[in-house]
Amino acid sequence: MRYSHIIVGAGSAGAVLAARLSQRPECQVLLLESGPDHTSDHTPPAVSGNSFFDALAEPGRSWPELLATRTEHQGATVYQRGRGVGGSSSVNAMVTIPGIPEDYDRWEQLGATGWNWASLSPWFARTSLVTSLAGAHETGPVNAALLAAMPGRAGPVPLSRTAAGRRMSTNDCYLEPARGRANLTIRGDSHVDRLLFEGRRAVGVRLVDGTEFESDEVFVCAGAIHSPALLLRSGVEPASPDGGASGGIGDGLKDHAAFPVALELADGVDWDPTALPISVLARMSSGESPADLQMLAMNHLGPAVPRVGLIMVALMEVRSRGTVRLASNDALADPVVNFDLLSDPVDERRLRSGIAQLERVLEHPEVRRLGHAAVPPTDPVGLRASLGDYVHASGTCAMGRVVDEHCRVYGYGALRVCDASVFPDLPRANTHLTTVVVAERLASVL
């Protein structure tokens, strides 16, 4: 059977596109997911529950051998990416907030024509995502302490879940209502080896088991790490917008650099490794740009790290760029990921402002009563040795550089990319909601 559309990846973008395109009777849509497929009712309890630590520990729901280097003073460690229907939306912290208007106005300045705030803002209210705030009884001790320490700045955030606390991934919100459509086929455990071309026109895909599928158009929605890897493995070499040589696939990688401080919780402080880890955050400024910092609290770090919570400050407006490169042409070999966080001195300066604000929060009585705060060294080497991230990879197939404003790969026919890899710049927010919005808006113009 020949399909009108093949979508590679059933995550925050791919599930949205599959649902929207299959609303059109003339479309025949094939959605391919490397991880497991299941209906919403058969979601494993760990995946639908409170804690993303439980979700990530569920077998088959992440890429256990995908490593990333954050800075030159760290070795490569696991970089969490979701597998299975819902993708990372099935295993993330569920925070569902947009960036600020300036983020998207900058997108247009970087070549994403028509993706400014005025054009995008209505779409943030049009998604099918289900969100709710955590109840007061779910706030947890570390989140409550952050609220007390930052009155007027810290507050509850919308979470992608029902009021009863069930996680609502894009599998639940988008694919479940679409599963009965005769023109939508969903195949789990289907890892794509490479794209198939006639000249520079995409005509289908080949799985690692050799199975081939033909289509009129291919959408690569495998995320900011695996989408560029698939394009590179397939020999894609985009032209620049002006028709010259461009390349650039896998360049421009960004994430929100984070400085974590572990809290060794004292006896008497509630610690529940199955509870909701995050429900509160604060948006702050370094004094150089609005909302360029974020502070959040975590009530626990999962059962593997007993009686430890966390407060971290993160840089939300990022200049440093890294890369995604192939380790080999083997489709089962994870790519080489290097974020090069804080390589831009402006990033380090702004994050240090956030660390100073975090140190003041740690002196607040409600935080001090939680227990001992293990503050890592903040000299240049120590800072880079302890630096973390938000698992918000983006920018590796950016609009204006690799794809045009309709997410078409420059110089190719019938080939589009749609996920966080097409962000021209990283917004000052957690990336799931923006990824859904990009997919919604793209589907509306196809």
Measured CA to CA in angstroms, residue 297 lies from 150, 156, 243, 300, 344 at distances of 12, 11, 47, 9, 26
Phi, psi of 345 (to 5 degrees): -65, -25
Cα(395)–Cα(426) distance, integer angstroms: 7
d(C-alpha 364, C-alpha 145), whole Å: 8
What's 98-156 look like in SS3? CCCHHHHHHHHHCCCCCCCHHHHHHHHHCCCCCCECCCHHHCCHHHHHHHHHCCCCEEE
Give the side-chain half-sphere CA count within 13 A for 367.
25
How many of the other CB atoms lie within 10 Å of CB of 21? 23
Alpha-carbon separation of residue 266 from 142, 359, 360, 370, 407 (angstroms): 12, 19, 20, 6, 51
**What's the sign of the alpha-carbon dihedral 57, 60, 61, 65?**
positive
Q: Cα-Cα-Cα-Cα dihedral of 107, 112, 114, 117, to 10°?
A: -10
> Contact at 8 Å (CB) between 331 and 345?
no
* Residue 53: burial class (beta carbons within 10 Å; 0-12, 13-18, 19+): buried
Question: CB neighbours of 390 closer than 8 A, spacing ≥ 6?
Answer: 255, 256, 258, 314, 430
> What torsion do the CA atoms of 180, 181, 182, 183 make, to the nearest 10 degrees?
-150
**Run of H or E including 217:** strand 212-220
pLDDT in tens, 12-21: 999 999 999 9
Q: Domain locations in the chain?
A: 1-49+79-94+97-130+167-254+393-446
For residue 103 the two structure tokens come to 């983020």
Q: What is the pLDDT of residue 247?
A: 54
Beta bridge partners of 32: 8, 187
What is the chain's pLDDT, residue by residue, as a tens digit (446 residues)?
A: 899 999 999 999 999 999 999 999 999 999 999 999 999 999 999 999 999 999 999 999 999 999 999 999 999 999 999 999 999 999 999 999 999 999 999 999 999 999 999 999 999 999 999 999 998 889 999 999 999 999 999 999 999 999 999 999 999 999 999 999 999 999 999 999 999 999 999 999 999 999 999 999 999 999 999 999 999 999 999 876 665 444 599 999 999 999 999 999 999 999 999 999 999 999 999 999 999 999 999 999 999 999 999 999 999 999 999 999 999 999 999 999 999 999 999 999 999 999 999 999 999 999 999 999 999 999 999 999 999 999 999 999 999 999 999 999 999 999 999 999 999 999 999 999 999 999 999 999 99
Distances (CA, A) of 309 to 140, 167, 256, 279, 296: 10, 22, 20, 13, 11
Residues 250, 33 contacting (CB under 8 angstroms): no
Domain 1-49+79-94+97-130+167-254+393-446 fold is FAD/NAD(P)-binding domain (3.50.50)
CA within 13 Å, CB half, 32: 27
Instruction: Compute the radius of gyration of the chain from its Cα atoms.
Output: 21
CB 192 within 8 A of CB 9: no
Neighbours of 336 (CB within 10 A): 17
Would you call 224 exposed, middle or buried from its count of C-beta atoms within 10 A (0-12, 13-18, 19+)? buried
Cβ pair 7, 185 in contact under 8 A: no
**Rounded to 5 degrees, what are φ and ψ at 386?**
-105, 0
Can you read off the two tokens belonging to residue 344?
């831009």
Q: What is the pLDDT of residue 245?
A: 43
